[in-house]
Structure 1
Amino acid sequence: MINQRHRGLTEQAADAAVDTACRVLRLPTLRAQYSAIAAGAERDQMTYRGFLAELLMAECEERNRRRSERRIHAAGFPRQKWVKDFDFGANPHVEPPVVQALATCDWIRKGHPLCLIGDSGTGKSHLLIALGAEAAMAGFRVRYVLAAKLVNELVEAADDKQLNKTIARYGRVDLLCIDELGYMELDRRGAELLFQVLTEREEKNSVAIASNESFSGWTKTFTDPRLCAAIVDRLTFNGTIIETGTDSYRLARTRSHQAATANG
């Protein structure tokens, strides 16, 4: 049983003092959970040190959670996706051990790239967002962007003489996730600007891309063969390549649902 040291404070006065101190010190979680943790500590006959540890751990855990939420929000993901929700059974092309290894974020610490290649509906964007979210949760600065949007932003920045500033901003994040690369043809200027971003990040910070085109088809996106080869080199050197296949499990799931509804 925890015995309160006598300092002339009643229980009510002590609670009020804790509440005031938490406000001044900006400890909102400790303030919110103090009474419940104190009651639990008394019930479990914790030592003073154990009680203090419980309070501080609760505050730290909540701050970590809020920081993770802020990093995920700052990444600009269009929707929430998590590795644990990926249906490996529906896509046998994707090996769970490979994805689980990527979820440890060791490749980001090393500045290595990741390429997710496959047709629409095969899970590449899910994995791109989910692995980006894992990185944000682990404390890395992450930015998600559609390839077309990134190129348009770079072109506008170049026209406004803000290109170096924009490239530097994209160069600072620990992981840059570029989605839908290959959905549209890029003119030489757009491709060169994208190449500058990749060069800025080369072997320093990671890039992860999702594309519906195999590398052999990238000449339709990057029409200059030499520039195309250089971009592929930047995105594959020391990297991981996951081919998600050509069979859309989203389409298969839709058809299965429709068949079940019709038979029902």
Structure 2
Amino acid sequence: MKKSAMSDTIYQYCREIRLPTIRECFQAQIQDATTRDLSYGAFLAELLQKEWDARQQTAQANRIRRAKFPYKKYLEDLSVRDLPEDAQRKYKQLKTLQFIEEGRNLILAGNPGTGKTHTAIGLGIKACEKGYTVWFTTVPLLINHMKECRSERTLRAFETRFKKYDLVIVDEMGYISFDKEGAELLFTHLSLRAGQKSTIITTNLSFERWGEIFQDPVMTAAMIDRLTYQAYLINMNGNSYRMKETKAWLAQQQLTDSSSATDLDSSQASETQ
């Protein structure tokens, strides 16, 4: 078989059995293997490794996309020393994602701007990279979605999906209160995961103030009991992490503006001379 015909045959087989990476790179790999005098086995192993790596990257990207993060925030972007003290102490442990493996909850509670959502998203993205299934939502969006599912009689299907995620991130607990129906739906669905799968909750309210949003003392007590049982509790009270970032950005802008003004003055002086 001529070389060109052989290449066409390999190309078509790769299309049929869905090996897109090998389809695109096999000719370059053949040339490289010839140059390096690789054995047939080594050549095949490297070729299959490329296909495997590409599929892993695609799967990882799909998990991150399906998680519905509002934006991408990575743990590596966090300034750990600017986090509240409790978060600093427990940061290394959280990074291991052991709490997901154990099916335990993580509750990040503290005043606004201290890095709760950034930490939650960062952990969520890392979980996606490690092969876990993740879903991000806010409390208002979750309640609205559950109400819509109930009205459309698709709530059971949603419950099944909700229970299966390795990690669900529920952001902004406490920013908005909700009615009795919303409270009951939230309680029911978060309870489905208790002791089975991990849930990250971010909240700006201490537990004794959760009654303000649930408006039912019995349900509030039951919710706190189920969510906090064997959970990782992180005290996120501290100086605003977001404000520090804003101040740093403003300082950088001032330096940039000052540098631009200096360059402009120098340019004008040169033209005058």
Spell out the pairing of 1:73-92 with structure 2 (5 A cutoff). 73-92=65-84
Aligned partners of 1:103 and 1:135 also within 8 Å: no
- The alignment status of 1:177 with 2:169, answered yes or no, reads yes
Q: d(CA) in 1 for partners of 2:16 and 2:146?
A: 45
Deviation at 1:215, TM superposition (A): 1.6
2:7 pairs with one of 3, 9, 15: 15
In structure 2, the CA distance between the partners of 1:262 and 1:17, relative to structure 1 (3 Å rule), is: closer
Spell out the pairing of 1:177-216 with structure 2 (5 A cutoff). 177-216=169-208
Structure 2 residue identity aligned to 1:58: K
Aligned partners of 2:175 and 2:204 also within 8 Å: yes
For residue 121 of structure 1, what is the aligned residue in structure 2? 113
Aligned partners of 2:107 and 2:232 also within 8 Å: yes
Q: d(CA) in 2 for partners of 1:22 and 1:130?
A: 37
Tell me whether 143-152 or 233-242 shows the greater mean CA deviation. Answer: 233-242
Q: d(CA) in 1 for partners of 2:165 and 2:6?
A: 46
Q: d(CA) in 2 for partners of 1:201 and 1:260?
A: 45
CA offsets, 1:109-138, max 9 Å, x none? 221111111222211111111111122222
Question: Matched residue pairs, number?
Answer: 256
Which has the larger helix fraction? Answer: 2
Aligned partners of 1:113 and 1:235 also within 8 Å: yes
In structure 2, the CA distance between the partners of 1:58 and 1:254, relative to structure 1 (3 Å rule), is: same
For residue 57 of structure 1, what is the aligned residue in structure 2? 49
Q: d(CA) in 1 for partners of 2:176 and 2:243?
A: 22
For residue 19 of structure 2, what is the aligned residue in structure 1? 27
Q: TM-score by structure 2 length?
A: 0.86
- The alignment status of 1:252 with 2:226, answered yes or no, reads no
Q: d(CA) in 2 for partners of 1:82 and 1:58?
A: 26
Q: d(CA) in 2 for partners of 1:156 and 1:18?
A: 50
1:162 pairs with one of 149, 154, 163: 154
The alignment partner of 1:209 has SS state of strand
In structure 2, the CA distance between the partners of 1:43 and 1:97, relative to structure 1 (3 Å rule), is: farther
For residue 43 of structure 1, what is the aligned residue in structure 2? 35
Q: TM-score by structure 1 length?
A: 0.88
Deviation at 1:224, TM superposition (A): 1.3
Aligned partners of 1:167 and 1:196 also within 8 Å: no
The alignment partner of 2:234 has SS state of strand
Q: Percent identity?
A: 34
Spell out the pairing of 1:100-115 with structure 2 (5 A cutoff). 100-115=92-107
2:125 pairs with one of 120, 133, 143: 133
Deviation at 1:144, TM superposition (A): 0.8
In structure 2, the CA distance between the partners of 1:256 and 1:71, relative to structure 1 (3 Å rule), is: closer
Tell me whether 171-180 or 253-262 shows the greater mean CA deviation. Answer: 253-262
In structure 2, the CA distance between the partners of 1:104 and 1:23, relative to structure 1 (3 Å rule), is: same
Deviation at 1:92, TM superposition (A): 4.6
For residue 223 of structure 1, what is the aligned residue in structure 2? 215
Structure 2 residue identity aligned to 1:139: G
For residue 225 of structure 2, what is the aligned residue in structure 1? 233
Aligned partners of 1:151 and 1:193 also within 8 Å: yes
Ranges in structure 1 where 5+ consecutive residues have no aligned partner: 1-8
For residue 145 of structure 2, what is the aligned residue in structure 1? 153
The alignment partner of 1:79 has SS state of coil
Q: d(CA) in 1 for partners of 2:132 and 2:253?
A: 44
In structure 2, the CA distance between the partners of 1:14 and 1:46, relative to structure 1 (3 Å rule), is: same
